[in-house]
Structure formats: C-alpha cells, structure tokens
Amino acid sequence: MEVQGCVAIVTGANRGIGEAFVRVLMQEGAARVYAGARDPASAKHLEDEFPGRVTAVGLDVSRPEQIMAAAAACADVSVVVNNAGAFNNQLLIGADDMSAAREEMEVNYFGPLAMARAFAPVLKANGGGAILNVLSVGGILAAPNMGGYSPSKFAMRAAGTCIRAELAGQGTTVTSLIVGSVDTRMASHVKGAKEAPEDIARAAMRGITRGTDEIDTDRFAIEMRAAMARDPKGLERQMAKAVFVREPSTGR
C-alpha cells in the first residue's frame, strides 16, 4: 500500500517517536492521522499544526475499553502504528517487586496485541492495510540492565510474527521496527550518539510501502545485529556487565 492518502492511528503520539510519526505521515501525504495519547490535550499542538488532518484521540493502550472505543471511532484507519511504550528502568530480580515488569508487559506487549485485535476488522474493511510495531534492539538482544522492557519487546516481536500469519489472508502486513538509540525522553539516560525520531519514522515508511517484515531503523540497530552474528556469547557477557553500571530511574 501507499502512504499517500492513507489514514493512520499512532499510539503515544504526543511526543518522541510517536510525534515524529505523525509529522512524517503528514509530510508523505497521509489523508488523516489520529494522534493517540493518554491525555488528548497533550497532542493538541499537532491538531493545531495540521488543522483538519490530525485528530487527537484519548488512548491509553493499557485500558482495553479505550482501545475498543478508538477502533469504533476511527473506522477509516488503514495503518496502525503501535508506538506507545513503557520503560521503568528496574531490574527483574533486583527490583522491590514485579510491578514495573508487569507494567512494561502490559504497555509493550498486551497493548499492541489489543490494538491489533481491535483494528484487524477495521483494516480488513479498508482493504488490508498495515500494522507497524515499534520495537527495540532490546527485542532481538536480551538487555539484562533493562529489566522487563527487553522481555516485553521480545514477546511483541514474536507476537508480530504470529499476527502476520493470521492476518495475511486479509492482506494486512505486519512490520517489526527494530529501533536503536533515539533522542527521546525515554532514552534520556542513554549516553552517546542518538538518531532523530523523524529519521526513525522515515525508515519505518518502508514497512508500509514495501510490506517489509522487519526493519533495522538506524545504525545502532544494524551494528548490534551484526555484533550478535559475530559473537553472540561475547555480546551477552558485555551486556551483563551493564547490570552493575546503572543510571537513576527515569520512569516512563
């Protein structure tokens, strides 16, 4: 399918990669974008920037009733961008309890799964369309210092493969975006070079136009995949050392 003329819904659209998706979709000719955010007022600046083409929608992906309401209200959607995410910067064993890991799984796995289930009939009615799941290098490389975040992204990557098979018959493509280091608030604790969110969104557009199953969206993602191929055990040992060099918690 083509980006030109499509109608998209983007979760977590009020900032970071989600906001960049809205802008890039607009630049590439999308007819309309629903900007999903827990507080729709936080996405109003996008409505003001693109009057009549962007609509802010109250959408917390951890609340199934809001997902179902969005699917009913946004019946013209042909592209679903599952971008909303949670990273609580807590260890799996070292954390006081499992609440952080549960929230990460709820937002990063069950949320996108619920979005796919709710919007699958909508996409079918509109010709098939596409689902883009914004994942992470942490979804192909276990990152022990990231606690429940990495396992949740692994889970969603596997779910994407299953959903792709289930929806192939209705012509819906499902693309996993393997994202590396990006200049967003969620990655504020990460040091070193970071990609612009808009560049990630532009790379992701290939998932719509080509129906690509999986895309490494930036240099860091490509380098990490190459390192895994060269020396997976050595990389695992290197990642394990990061458990003992931790930054203060940044929350979601």
Q: Which residues are catalytic?
A: 149, 153
Other Cβ atoms closer than 10 A to 2? 12
Rounded distance, CA 133 to CA 44, Å? 24
Segment 57-65 long-range contacts (CB within 8 Å, at least 24 positions apart):
57/9, 59/9, 59/11, 59/84, 61/11, 61/12, 61/36, 61/107, 61/111, 61/112, 61/114, 61/115, 62/103, 62/106, 62/107, 62/110, 62/111, 64/114
Rounded distance, CA 211 to CA 174, Å? 7
Rounded distance, CA 217 to CA 45, Å? 26
